[in-house]
Amino acid sequence: MSARKGVVFPPGYRIGHATDRVNRTGCTVVLPPPGTIAAVEVRGGAPGTRETGVFTPGNLVSEIHGLVFAGGSAFGLAAADGVAAWLHRRGRGFAVGSERVPIVAAAVLFDLGVGRPRHPTAAMGQRACRAARDGAVETGPVGAGTGATVGKLYGAARAGRGGVGAAAVRLPGDEVVAALVAVNAFGDVVDPDSGRVLAGPGTARALRTSADPGRFAEPGPGAATTLACIATTVPFEPGSLKRVAIEAHDGIARAIRPAHTVLDGDTLFALAPAGPAPSILLRLRVGEAAAEAVARAIVDAVRLRRPAARSGG
């Protein structure tokens, strides 16, 4: 499988990957435009995160300066240190007197069972920042999705390839809702409309119908996760943006079965320009578009691609 470019995020967003193809791991960085706020919703039973509590509505800080998705399980959170250092050198961050403190959130997935057990570092986080660009987003087995797999019921040998995916939905008023995902789910990726399995061994059906659970692999705690970020051009305040993050999780359940399990660390960030809460109708439209974009991005993450030419990290 090879990476490809397609979906364009809203203006001002820069997305970059650092990919280690030898060890099958990496990280993906989202650098939002100034004035962007965030909300987060965690639905999986085994999350690995940094700076998620800060975005609780009513807290002091709601602006976000960087978002990191990384492999390596909890070790991969180190990539966020590199992103924070990179932003600090450029004067980005929350003002505390004469100092600037970058608010960098992160979430990780477990890819230590694929390739060699290596994990992203602070240096890799900085490399992803240097690679960050606006325009079309590179997707596939890159960045945080390099070692991602899906459908782990029968073990790694029968799992499908996961990866990074992206999608965007345009609303009637020309507003945009875009999604970026890193898919490393315990469940299968399915077509949201037909339910046809696109990647994985038929996990949901097997769990419902098999009388011999001994055929299944012993599930590893925290060995699966879907990470998602949605970004909209519609201004929000933190409380109403939190609701969008909740509604956007429906997209994970539409395209992954089963989703939000005790083994997954499913975590979703919602990003938007700071402003007053939009009208109820516009909030409904953004929430539904966010769920649709997440589902489409998950399908995009496992789309068949031509084999990549051999390359280094």
- pLDDT at residue 305 tops 80: no
Q: What is the DSSP letter of 205?
A: H
Give CA–CA dist 211/86, Å, rounded: 53
> Of all residues in the chain, what percent carry a pLDDT higher than 70?
92
Tokens 């180190």 correspond to what residue? 78
Q: What is the pLDDT of residues 97-122, one digit of tens each?
A: 889 999 999 999 998 877 677 789 99
Q: In Å, how far are 40, 93, 172, 211, 274 from 277, measured between CA atoms? A: 17, 24, 18, 50, 9
Among the listed residues 5, 42, 24, the one whose alpha carbon sits nearest the alpha carbon of residue 265: 42
- pLDDT at residue 141 tops 80: yes
**273-293: average pLDDT:** 97
Give CA–CA dist 71/142, Å, rounded: 11
Class of domain 4-301: alpha beta
User: Which residues are 96's β-sheet partners?
Assistant: 99
Contact in structure between 18 and 120 (CB atoms under 8 Å): yes
Q: What is the pLDDT of residues 21-76, one digit of tens each?
A: 999 999 999 999 999 999 999 999 999 999 999 999 999 989 999 999 999 999 99
Tokens 């993906």 correspond to what residue? 28
Binned at pLDDT 50, 70 and 90, residue 4 comes out as low
Mean pLDDT of the chain: 91
Among the listed residues 52, 50, 13, the one whose alpha carbon sits nearest the alpha carbon of residue 166: 13
Least confident of 89-98, 188-197, 205-214: 205-214
User: Which residues are 180's β-sheet partners?
Assistant: 166, 229
Please provide the distance, in angstroms rounded to a whole number, between the alpha carbons at the two ends of the chain.
Answer: 15
